Amino acid sequence: MGNTACCASTKDEAAASQAAMRGDEAVPALGDAPLAFSAAPGCGPSADPGATGPAEGPAANTYRIVLDKGSGGKLGLDVDYMPERTVLPIMAVTGGLAEAWNKAHSEELQLRKGDSILEVNGKRGDVAEMLERCKNEQVLELTLRRALTYGHLVKELEELVKSKGCGPILVRLSWHDAGVFSTGEEGSGCPNAVMRFTDKGEGAFPANAGLPTVALALLAPISQKFCPELISNADLWALAANVAIRVMGGPDIPTHFGRVDATSSSESVEAQAGRLPEGDGGVAHLRGVFHPKGLNDKAIVALSGAHTVGRCHLERSGFDGPWTEEPLRFDNSYFKEMLAKTYAPETTSKGRLQHRHAGSGTIMLPADLALLQDPAFKKHVDLYAADQSLFFADFADSWVRLQENGCTNLRNIL
């Protein structure tokens, strides 16, 4: 069965108090509370016998330094402390030991704004304990990672979407990770990135064909760099989809964080039936899938509007073709074209029934055309075709609810 607590986030009262003082900035700086520990006034090669340059392979952006605080002074680093994180991002090098270190060492070993401290004297993962060691221990052996911040992460996701044209499959990845949630007979389920495991479960569902291979391969350079130190895979998938929607011209949708990654395929839901919509489903099928997710008829139509981007791949779904004439632009074309075009039924070489517009080659699946068959659905199709801003607003609202179904204690900042 699905992991019912897979999106829970635990924090004690002190951590909650600290988070409240920071507000809801995406990456809140601690300019009024910098680290200012005792440190020796100078440092040079003789003070860092354990320093090493960047590692090779997957850890190519990792480096290690050793600082000795023996005779007092400031460490000279402002860090962005958040108890929910496992790393300490450097917000500024302000002088002291850090500045002296940079003057004495080559660029590949210099501390930079945007780098993150992964480990302090053998301790990693517990940022409160890492800070205590910085305060109380004289010799600091630090392991750091280059460019490990929210801003760097978003920039790399934007570059990926723009360079690879992969926005649609990133949207589908988040959709199918979160879309398994149900309050029906099937049980719960939640977004936990369990598709990383392909031996069984969600990673092997026919509905998820192409996601564990194509989508995760595209994200691999980013996930290897940022997960799990800065972000969980499940949070990354949600963020990647939201960045992709914005880059493709859609609404700017907020991402909330705190999803917990599955550790094996055993944390999958048992089956896709009743959880993920089928392309050949009708009106009753759509309601049967979406209503147990807490999503009403309006939300069904709004979320179907995600088909304004992407295409069907014969080898994955058995369907073939794009829904709209500009499948990398997120707008309301799905609804406009659905109303304006005439589609003829056809059967693909995989035996699937779909409907194609002869002039443009675009398609609609039976589940798409079902939106025109029911008056409660059709009225929203008409509204969204006429008003893109309304579609964006309703889509964003429904999309956030879909992405967060089954999650508890999500937070506004990473």
**CATH of residue 330:** 1.10.420.10
Query: Is residue 140 within 8 Å of residue 69, measured between CB atoms?
Result: yes
Q: How far apart are CA 55 and CA 41, in angstroms?
A: 28
Same domain, 162 and 253: yes
- How many residues in total does the chain contain? 414
Based on the fold, state whether residues 116 and 180 are members of the same structural domain: no
* Residue 22: pLDDT over 90: no
Question: Is the same domain home to 155 and 232?
Answer: yes
Helix count and strand count (H, E) for the chain: 14, 11
Question: Do 139 and 213 share a structural domain?
Answer: no
How many Å apart are CA 135 and CA 120, to the nearest integer? 11
- 3-state secondary structure (DSSP) of residue 71: coil
> Do 178 and 219 fall within a single domain?
yes
Residue pLDDT, tens place only, 347-376: 999 999 999 999 999 999 999 999 999 999
What is the distance, to the nearest Å, from the Cα of residue 7 to the centroid of all Cα atoms in its chain?
14
Report pTM: 0.82
Structure tokens at 53: 């340059």
CB under 8 Å to 119, separation ≥6 — which residues?
130, 141, 142, 143
* Residue where a domain stops, chosen among 125, 145, 165: 145
How far apart are the C-alpha atoms of 243 and 221, rounded to whole Å?
Answer: 17
Expressed as residue numbers, the domain containing 108 is: 62-145
One domain, residues 139 and 175: no
Query: Per-residue pLDDT averaged across 288-301, rounded?
Result: 97
Nearest to 391, CA basis, from 289, 238, 250? 250
**CA-wise closest residue to 260 among 127, 148, 408:** 408
Q: What is the pLDDT of residue 198?
A: 96
Do 213 and 304 fall within a single domain?
no
Beta bridge partners of 90: 79
How far is residue 80's CA from residue 69's CA, in Å, rounded to a whole number? 21
Q: Looking at 116, 145, 174, which one is the last position of a domain?
A: 145
Give residue 25's pLDDT band: very low, low, confident or very high (50, 70, 90).
very low
Q: Domains in the chain: how many in total?
A: 3
Which positions are annotated as active-site residues? 176, 323
Per the domain annotation, does 367 fall within a domain? yes
Shared domain check, 133 and 164: no
Tokens for 274? Answer: 């009743």
Using one digit for the tens of pLDDT, what is the confidence trace for 78-131?
Answer: 999 988 889 999 999 999 999 999 999 999 899 999 999 999 999 999 999 999
